[in-house]
Every structure is written in structure tokens, then in C-alpha cells.
Chain A
Amino acid sequence: MARVLVVEDDPPTAAEITAALRDHGFETECVATGGEAVTRASAAHFSAIVLDRMLPGDLDGLEVLAALRGRGIDCPVLILSALSAVDERVRGLRAGGDDYLTKPFESLELTARIQVLLRRGATEERATRLKVGDLEVDLITRRVRRGADTIDLLPREYLLLEYLMRHAGQVITRTMLFEHVWQYRYEPRTNVIDVHMGKLRRKLDEGGRPPMIRTVRGSGYVLRAAD
């Protein structure tokens, strides 16, 4: 069971985060100050830390992060912040954060990102091919095959598929797809991502093959081996 340390000083937000994580099967522990965060993280092992950027008292989020990394604690850290400026994000990631989420956020966005962070260490980064069910992607030649058939994908479609394959079985939100595949950061309100995903799906499921990409209620997708 994965344990997540939530560092958040605002009780309602902390309760919201805790509830969302519990619903997705995480164990949680909640602290309200930077000092406590460092103490707890040093004392026990956590699978991931959700860290508020703005904390009251002597240590703010980035300082907590620096202290943790300084003590050799390298569990994934997701920074939460009300500051959306690009350089804030860059600063957060440079200080050792693994992901950055701007408040207000939807709970699915948070849990999906935590899942991805947890699994990141698990997927073999050096793999040259990914295989989910009968779908196979060659990371070097960028060739995609389903069963015996080769599937022609546009470059962007390939990137979408590769990202989903790397996180097969996990919920990936539209925002995550957009950030990873297009490398820009904002929340596109349009359903453009859905259209891209629709095209990818049609290509993957061509010829009446059972669908592999499922839409998750809210704003996400999961790729799984077809039953």
C-alpha cells in the first residue's frame, strides 16, 4: 500500500486532497508545517509527497524540498501552488520537484499525476519496445503494430500512444497529455485532445478490434489490454 505525505496548511484543502487519495487507494498522512514535513519524511518512508508551495512559518515549500533532497530523501514530490507563472513552475521543478500542479485542481488530476509519479521508477526507462496486450510499439523505429498489422500513425499520434503505453493501466488526464505531447502548459477548454484521441482510437481499433483506450469519466483516458 502506497503511503503519501500531504503537506498542506489549509485544512479544507488538506481534507479534500486526503479524501481524493484515499478514494484511489492511498494511505495518507497530513502535516501542516514545513518543519513537521521534514521531520516526518525523515522518520518514515513515503511513496510520494504532495507539497504545498506556500507554507506558513519558517520553511516554505521550496525550502522543505531542498531540505528533503539534502537528506537524501528522493521520493517523488508533487508541488501544489496557487502561482501559475511559468518561472514558478520552473523554479519548483529545478528545486527537485517532480511535478507541479496549479490550484485549483480537480482531484482526478492530482491522483492521476501521483499514480504516474509512483510508477515512474517501475517502468524500465531503457526499454526499446513497449507491449500492452496485442499492441506493440518499437521505441526506436517508432513502428506500431497491433497483432500482425502495422498501424500508421502521425508523429503526434505516436507520441500520444507512447505516453499512454508507458503508463498503461493508469488514468492519464487531458492536461497531462497536452503537457507531455505538445509541451505547452495550460488547460485547453476545447475538446481538441478528444478529437486527437478519437483519431488515434479509430486507427488502433480498425477492423473491429476490441477497443483499448477507455475514456475515464471526468477528463482522462486509460489504455489497457483489450479483454
Chain B
Amino acid sequence: MLFLALFGCASLALFGFIYWQTSRYLTSSVDERLQRDAQGYLANPDETAARLRKHVELDPQNIHPFGLFTRDGRYIAGNLTILPRFSPPLGRPFEYRQRTGGSLRPYRAFALRMAPNELLVLSESIYETDELRELLRNAMAWGGVFLLVVGLAGAVITGLGAVRRINAVTGAIERIVTGDLSGRLPMNRRAGDLDRLSLLVNRMLDDIERLMGEVKGVTDDIAHDLRTPLTRLLASLERARRRSEATPAPAAAEYERAVEEAIRETRDVLGTFNALLRIAEVEASARRAGFARVDLGTIAADVAEFQAPVAEEKGVALEFERPRPALQAPLALFGDPSLLFEAIGNLVDNAIKFTPAGGRIVVRAFAAKGRSGVSVSDTGPGIPEPEREAVLRRFHRLEKSRHTPGSGLGLSLVAAVARLHGLDLSMESANPGCRVTLSGRTSSP
């Protein structure tokens, strides 16, 4: 409505301006013509009578009635026979109406003194100019009405469209709020402001849905991963009680075995919790305070040495490579050595777990130009491309590895440690197998 009022005012102002300019132009052109004629008469006052006669001959239609009068208004010569009423001073244009041919016509006139007792009135019919003005006014009025109607209709239509869009958006949001996270805001093909906003909100909703899914997945996984050992624990304790009831003298060995098993299961559950808390702790960057200057190459070498017997037991070759000469290219880093050891350890641990006997694992410390780091590659089954992001999530395990022991938290910890140290964690296919690389910009010496 406000828009409409503004629009109306603007068009009214525009029309008014056009009208005013046009009519001014028309009037001034009449005045100019009269002025010119007046100059002619004033230049030669003696020829007034002759000029007037000639003028009358040239103007049979009385478009330009000129007349010479005495001071008191008596007619002397010309085709204007009655002195129109006008108020002095002389030399200023004025308008009058006179009856010609049965109708009252408007004229614009100019009066000037010729001789001391004579008054010359030059006038021009402005009937046509007035007609033109009238026409202009009409045209503008109709144009205005038309514009107003079209504008109003347009406003109503767009307004209705906007209202409908907003209703649709509100509805969608309400559905989302009530729990349907898969809902999205409606989009038009046009790229309007509302669409840009909708696009952004939709992208945000995508993120929220993914995060909610992750949280739900993690919660489910925690519940599942903890329920299984707890169920086993309960079962073994119940079995011990049952058997002790059955035999009057409970076998000490039976009890001991049950307790042993219970301790082991409990320790596993605690281990899972500890791992979760550690990841949270690392993610909260609470450990940055313990940073010191460390050499990633040395840590990687220690990991390789630490894990070597495990690989050997499984029949997997574990090799360590580092740039030569080792001393000249230390992979210096500001970090927490224990966390880095644990992270690389987890990578090697995974590699050993998933590499079949006879396979080969290479832990390589490298210092290429500008980038340095550690990579662990194996000849195992590898991680399918679409799963690579997912394996970094808590508890995620590839379907085929569901039955190998492990909490599914190892890589999450690696990712958290990498983030804490500003390192990039990347995964690629090593044909066959998988190569995981932890690398960062080489710090200046």
C-alpha cells in the first residue's frame, strides 16, 4: 500500500511536470510571436495603418486579431474591433475572451502604445493551444488511471505471490520444527532474494540433518558397542551364580574364571569410554599446553619399532623409511609427542589389523619441499572412496570389519590429533591397499 502511494505520487509529479513544461512552452511561443510582430510595428510607427490593412488581408480567419484604438477605446483600424479589457501596465501579455463566429474564443494579447493617443493591441487565438492542453490533461488522466490500475494489479499479484511463498516457507519451517528434518524450503526457478535466502537455509538444514544423523549414529553405536560387552558380562556372572547354586561346594576355579572374565569385559568397556573422553579432550585442544618441539621422524621410527613384533607375529612385513640424510631433514613440529605416537600407532595398528599375512606395511617419514609428514601404507583391502570420510567418524567401521576387534575410535582419535596439530589427514588408494598420510607445512628452520 505504501508502495502504491509512493508510485501514485511519483507519477502525479511526473505528469504535472510534463504538463507544466508543455503549457509553458506553448504560451511562450505565442508570446514570442506577438513580441516579434510588436517589434515590427514599433520599428516603423508611420506605417502602422498600412501594415494593419495588409495584416487583415492575410488573416481572413481572424486567428491573429490586431487592432488600433484611441486611448479611450475607440476603434481606428484592424481586424480587432473591440478593445478587450485589460489592466495596465502595457507590454505585458494578457488573456481575454471574445465572441467570434458565435462562440467565445480565448486569445492572448499584447498592448502597446503607438502614438501618444493610440493603443495597438496584437492578439492570437489560443483556442488550439487550449485544446491541446485539454487533450494533454485528458491523456494524462487516463494514463494515470491506467497506470494506477496496472500498478495496483501488479502489486496485488506480487504481494499475493510473496504471501504465498512466505506461507509455503513458514509451513516448511513448521514441519521441520516438529521433527521432519528431511523437509526443505520451497525454491523457485527464479533467483530472487527469497530464493537466495531459502538456498542458504536449505544448506544449513543439510548440515543440521547430517550432524543430527551423526549424533544419532554415534549414540546408537555407543549403545551397541557397550551393550554387547555388558550383556556378555552379565551372562557370565549369572552363569557363575547358577553353577555355584547347582553344586553345593562352589568351585573356586569357576568363580575365579567368572571374575577374571568380568574384569576383562569391564576393562574393555572402560577402555571405550576412555578413548571417547580422550578424543573429546584432544578435540577441545586441552592438551596444547603440553606441546614441545618434537621430531615426527623419530616418533614414526619409534612407532614402527614398537609395532614391529605384532606385525611379525601376523606374518606382515613392517618397514620404516625416512629421508636421507636423516639428520639434515628432521621433521620438526611443535606438538605433543605422546599424542603423535598414539595417532601414528593407531594408523599402524589399523594397517596391521587389515593387512593379510604376507602383506607389507610401509611407515614412511617424508620431507618434500614445503610439506613433510608421515604416511602409513598397507597392502590390505583398502578403504572404498565413499567411505573415506566416514571412517574418521566415531565408531564407524567398515561393514566387512564389523567382526574384528576394536572400538572404531582409532581413526577418530587420529583425526582429532591431526586437527590439534594443524596437520592434514588424507587417505588414498595405494593399489592395492590404503595409504594414510599425516602431513603439514614444513616449519621454517
Instruction: Please give the residue numbers on chain A whose beta carbons come within 8 Å of chain B beta carbons, in ascending order.
Output: 84-90, 104, 106, 156, 182, 184-192, 195-196, 198-199, 217-218
Q: Which of B275-289 contact A (CB under 8 A)?
A: 275, 281, 286-287, 289
Q: Distance in Å from the Cβ of B379 to the closest Cβ of chain A?
A: 20
Residues in A whose Cβ lies below 8 Å from that of B290: 85-90
Question: 4 smallest A-B Cβ distances: which pairs?
Answer: A86-B290, A87-B290, A195-B309, A184-B341
Give A114 to B342 CA distance when docked, in angstroms: 26
B345 within 8 A of A: yes
Residues in B whose Cβ lies below 8 Å from that of A184: 302, 337-338, 341-342
B271 within 8 A of A: yes
Q: Distance in Å from the Cβ of A226 to the closest Cβ of chain B?
A: 24
Q: Is the CB of B341 within 8 A of A192?
A: no
Q: Is the CB of B338 within 8 A of A186?
A: yes
B310 within 8 A of A: yes
Give A160 to B131 CA distance when docked, in angstroms: 118
Give A189 to B264 CA distance when docked, in angstroms: 12
Given contacts A84-B281, A86-B336, contact A186 B342 (CB under 8 A): yes
Q: Is the CB of B287 within 8 A of A192?
A: no
Residues in B whose Cβ lies below 8 Å from that of A90: 290
9 A–B contact pairs at CB < 8 A?
A: A85-B289, A86-B292, A182-B306, A182-B341, A186-B342, A192-B306, A192-B307, A192-B309, A196-B309
Residues in A whose Cβ lies below 8 Å from that of B407: 189
Residues in B whose Cβ lies below 8 Å from that of A89: 290
Q: Is the CB of B349 within 8 A of A190?
A: yes
Q: Is the CB of A192 within 8 A of B263?
A: no
B313 within 8 A of A: yes
Residues in B whose Cβ lies below 8 Å from that of A218: 263
Instruction: Please give the residue numbers on chain B whose beta carbons come within 8 Å of chain A beta carbons, in ascending order.
Output: 260, 263, 267, 270-271, 274-275, 281, 286-287, 289-290, 292, 302, 305-307, 309-310, 313, 336-339, 341-342, 345, 349, 407
Beyond A184-B341, A190-B345, 15 extra complex contacts between A and B, CB < 8 Å: A84-B281, A85-B289, A86-B290, A86-B292, A90-B290, A106-B267, A156-B305, A182-B306, A184-B337, A184-B342, A186-B338, A186-B342, A192-B306, A195-B310, A199-B309
Q: Distance in Å from the Cβ of B166 to the closest Cβ of chain A?
A: 52
Q: Is the CB of B341 within 8 A of A195?
A: no
Give A90 to B337 CA distance when docked, in angstroms: 14
Q: Is the CB of A192 within 8 A of B289?
A: no
Give A89 to B289 CA distance when docked, in angstroms: 11
Q: Is the CB of B307 within 8 A of A189?
A: no
Q: Is the CB of B287 within 8 A of A195?
A: no
Give A88 to B338 CA distance when docked, in angstroms: 14
Give A188 to B339 CA distance when docked, in angstroms: 11
Give A187 to B338 CA distance when docked, in angstroms: 10
Q: Distance in Å from the Cβ of A91 to the closest Cβ of chain B?
A: 10
Residues in A whose Cβ lies below 8 Å from that of B302: 182, 184
Given contacts A86-B336, A184-B302, A184-B337, contact A195 B313 (CB under 8 A): yes
Q: Which residue of A lies closest to B410 (CB)?
A: A189
Residues in B whose Cβ lies below 8 Å from that of A87: 289-290
Q: Which residue of B lies closest to A154 (CB)?
A: B305
Q: Distance in Å from the Cβ of B149 to the closest Cβ of chain A?
A: 76
Q: Which residue of A lies closest to B340 (CB)?
A: A184
Residues in A whose Cβ lies below 8 Å from that of B306: 182, 192, 196
Find the residue from A186, A198, A199, A218 having the highest chain B CB count within 10 A: A186
Residues in B whose Cβ lies below 8 Å from that of A188: 342, 345
